[in-house]
């Protein structure tokens, strides 16, 4: 496969690093302060400094183990800082809540934005349940100044904390809810990722910890595929950026999530196997991210570059996961006037995304079971109660006449996708 073109941010940051000899300054001083004016010489700063996930970092940052933080409205610090934290869910099940029966403006099967997801979480009562607050009031959200902040952050080169001072940097709070006992500050996402930027919790936490006497609770909130996931963190040392610890995590839904093994067995019995499409067999282990691609495209068509820059993918993952969705018939690829790939939901993808939670999951399962290698692996699991080995799955795949899969090493790599997708199906069972 041809190497994808370099992203605009990659090229712009490489030019900045060369012009200002940034790596030499960091080697000498441990950091480099760069202004928005300097960044704007090559591209708009708002497009150049927004890296919500580690995978979004420009190549020159990733290659040199660097990160960037705002320290004022006009300046940023570049150094070997550990600015991200892994995001790992602890629960598979979801607690069911309902929207008020008289509510007409919120629809649990149509949640296109973070704001609407938060409003559904509030209106259904799941936020009050998670926070253990009887009454919640929406309070301080939106953009505001950080004031003066002084903190320590882990330096990955020195293996010890470095001091950072922030003066009136801009912060943004997606939502804040105050109860009798606490103030909860929410950072919300619709994309699924392996990690998150701690700054999005830490700066608001520091600001409001200094302004209120109640407990300030940093909450990371995600919504995808009908599931609301809430993570509560605690900064054990408020002066240390990296001292956050996950103390509570729970999943919620506002739709019926009960799926039985019998549902899957019946689906497999009535699903017809299709001829293999002329698309490479997927290399995309996380099926929830295939669904997330569909969610993103249900709002609007996106280019490969837009998917890569806006969400928690690198360019190769964008290719892998969009191709996986295309393989299943959920997404279509066209080209713009300069032959750049543009992705959109297929008619089938659009229909599936309009279904209720349970029916949508079963419809996704049907797209999986329509393919011989995946279907036979599922049947083998049913017969044994255990997942077939990689060698066994590879043997199944060899009989499936897969498009452009020839070497045994490729079969074995793709076998991990088969087992992962079957495991995703089985994880739906909550009888």
d(CA 175, CA 158): 36
Residues 23-60 pLDDT 10s: 999 999 999 999 999 999 999 998 899 999 999 999 99
For residue 361, give every residue at least 6 positions away whose Cβ sits within 8 Å of its Cβ, in sequence order, or none: 225, 259, 428
- Locate the domains of the chain by residue range: 8-80, 95-253, 261-427
To the nearest whole number, what is the mean pLDDT of the chain? 93
What is the distance in angstroms between the CA of the first residue and the CA of the last residue of the chain? 43
Residues 274-283 pLDDT 10s: 999 999 899 9
Task: Name the fold adopted by 95-253.
Answer: Trna Endonuclease; Chain: A, domain 1 (3.40.1350)
Residues 146-158 pLDDT 10s: 999 999 999 999 9
pTM of the model: 0.86
Residues 165-209 pLDDT 10s: 999 999 999 999 999 999 999 999 998 889 999 999 999 999 999
Shared fold status for 95-253 and 261-427: no
CATH 1.20.1290.10 assigned to domain 261-427? The reply is no
Task: Produce one character per residue of 252-273: b if its CB has 16 or more CB atoms within 10 Å, e if not.
Answer: bbbbebebeeebbeebbeebee
Q: Label the pairing between strands 95-96 and 244-253.
A: parallel
């Amino acid at each position: 496969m041809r190497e994808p073109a370099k992203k605009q941010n990659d090229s712009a940051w490489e030019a900045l690093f060369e012009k200002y000899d940034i790596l030499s300054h960091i080697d000498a001083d441990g950091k480099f302060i760069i202004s928005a004016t300097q960044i704007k010489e090559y591209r708009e700063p708002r497009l150049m400094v927004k890296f919500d996930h580690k995978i979004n970092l420009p190549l020159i940052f990733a290659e040199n183990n660097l990160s960037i933080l705002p320290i004022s409205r006009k300046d940023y610090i570049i150094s070997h800082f550990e600015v991200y934290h892994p995001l790992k869910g602890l629960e598979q099940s979801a607690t069911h809540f309902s929207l008020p029966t008289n509510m007409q403006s919120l629809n649990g099967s149509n949640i296109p934005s973070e704001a609407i997801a938060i409003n559904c979480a509030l209106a259904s009562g799941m936020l009050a349940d998670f926070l253990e607050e009887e009454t919640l009031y929406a309070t301080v959200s939106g953009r505001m100044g950080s004031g003066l902040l002084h903190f320590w952050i882990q330096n990955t080169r020195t293996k010890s904390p470095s001091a950072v001072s922030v003066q009136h940097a801009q912060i943004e709070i997606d939502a804040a809810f105050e109860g009798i006992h606490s103030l909860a500050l929410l950072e919300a996402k619709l994309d699924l990722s392996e990690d998150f930027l701690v700054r999005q919790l830490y700066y608001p936490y520091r600001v409001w910890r200094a302004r209120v006497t109640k407990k300030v609770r940093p909450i990371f909130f995600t919504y995808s595929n009908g599931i609301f996931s809430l993570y509560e963190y605690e900064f054990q040392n408020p002066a240390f950026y990296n001292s956050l610890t996950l103390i509570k995590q729970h999943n919620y839904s506002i739709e019926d999530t009960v799926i039985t093994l019998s549902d899957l067995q019946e689906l497999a019995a009535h699903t017809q196997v299709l001829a293999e499409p002329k698309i490479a067999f997927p290399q995309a282990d996380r099926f929830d991210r295939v669904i997330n691609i569909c969610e993103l495209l249900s709002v609007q068509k996106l280019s490969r570059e837009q998917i890569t820059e806006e969400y928690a993918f690198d360019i190769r993952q964008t290719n892998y996961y969009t191709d996986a969705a295309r393989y299943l018939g959920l997404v279509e690829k066209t080209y713009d006037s300069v032959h750049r790939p543009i992705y959109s939901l297929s008619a089938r993808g659009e229909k599936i995304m309009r279904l209720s939670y349970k029916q949508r999951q079963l419809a996704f399962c049907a797209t999986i079971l329509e393919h011989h290698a995946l279907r036979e692996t599922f049947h083998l699991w049913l017969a044994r109660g255990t997942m077939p080995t990689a060698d066994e799955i590879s043997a199944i795949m060899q009989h499936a006449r897969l498009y452009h899969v020839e070497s045994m090493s490729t079969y074995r790599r793709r076998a991990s996708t088969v087992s992962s997708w079957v495991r995703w199906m089985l994880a739906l069972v909550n009888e």
